[in-house]
Amino acid sequence: MSAKHATTSTPILPTLTERWSPRAFDTDHALPENALLSAFEAARWSPSASNTQPWRFIVARRGSESFAKIEATLAGFNSQWAGAASALVVNLAVVENDNGEPQRWAEYDLGQAVAHLSVQAHSEGLYVHQMGGFDAAKISESFALSDKLRPVSVMTIGKLGLPEQLAEPLKEREIAPRSRMVVHDLIVVND
């Protein structure tokens, strides 16, 4: 078992145990279109408030103009590694409906769609790494997005690379075991 696999207190689905967020990606890898489509299909079928489906995505394959635009918005720390991925994706929440009313659960629903996507991607042999470290205003400007679309996160999708590709301290983090709070501490009331 890889050091990156979750050590669970009780068995969970193998894809969930094995999923993690790498920073080393294979720079020669191009995304198989069917795997990418499956990942977005999983996002499509996630639940949302009143089935509003308030998630949209900008998908940019490495080498494209859009990829360069997204990469230019990444925080310094993320720009050190994310450019190696096969794709950069901007995760957008539709924060207003067609009547101009706020969609209160849009970011919640988007996060859930991204979670489903990342699990499906993992089962297709791909790795996803979400990032909050990016300039959302710059994304909106670069892609001339309407105010209804809020860039919430950016994610990399690609094939796992080697820790040796990374400089320290990223290399050390890449091989460090993953950790979590104990499940008991997550449950506020358990009647």
Ligand X SMILES: Cc1cc2nc3c(=O)[nH]c(=O)nc-3n(C[C@H](O)[C@H](O)[C@H](O)COP(=O)(O)O)c2cc1C
Contacting positions for ligand X (CB under 6 A): 20-21, 78, 130-133, 153, 178
Helices 106-123, 33-44: inter-axial angle, 10-degree rounding = 140
Of 26 and 135, which CB lies nearer to ligand X in the complex structure? 135
Of 97 and 130, which CB lies nearer to ligand X in the complex structure? 130
Minimum distance between the CB of residue 20 and ligand X, rounded to whole angstroms? 4
Of 52 and 112, which CB lies nearer to ligand X in the complex structure? 112
Of 97 and 160, which CB lies nearer to ligand X in the complex structure? 160
Distance between CA atoms of residues 187 and 191, nearest Å: 10
What are the DSSP calls for 115-146, one per residue? HHHHHHHHHTT-EEEEE--B-HHHHHHHTT--
45 Cβ contact list (under 8 Å, min separation 6):
116
Minimum distance between the CB of residue 159 and ligand X, rounded to whole angstroms? 16
Residue nearest to ligand X (CB): 133
Distance between CA atoms of residues 174 and 164, nearest Å: 9
Is residue 3 within 8 A of residue 175, CB to CB? The reply is yes
Q: Which residue has the tokens 């103009």?
A: 65
Minimum distance between the CB of residue 130 and ligand X, rounded to whole angstroms? 4
Of 96 and 135, which CB lies nearer to ligand X in the complex structure? 135
DSSP tally for the chain: helices H, then strands E: 7, 4
Helices (H), 72-105: 76-79
Minimum distance between the CB of residue 77 and ligand X, rounded to whole angstroms? 6
Minimum distance between the CB of residue 65 and ligand X, rounded to whole angstroms? 23
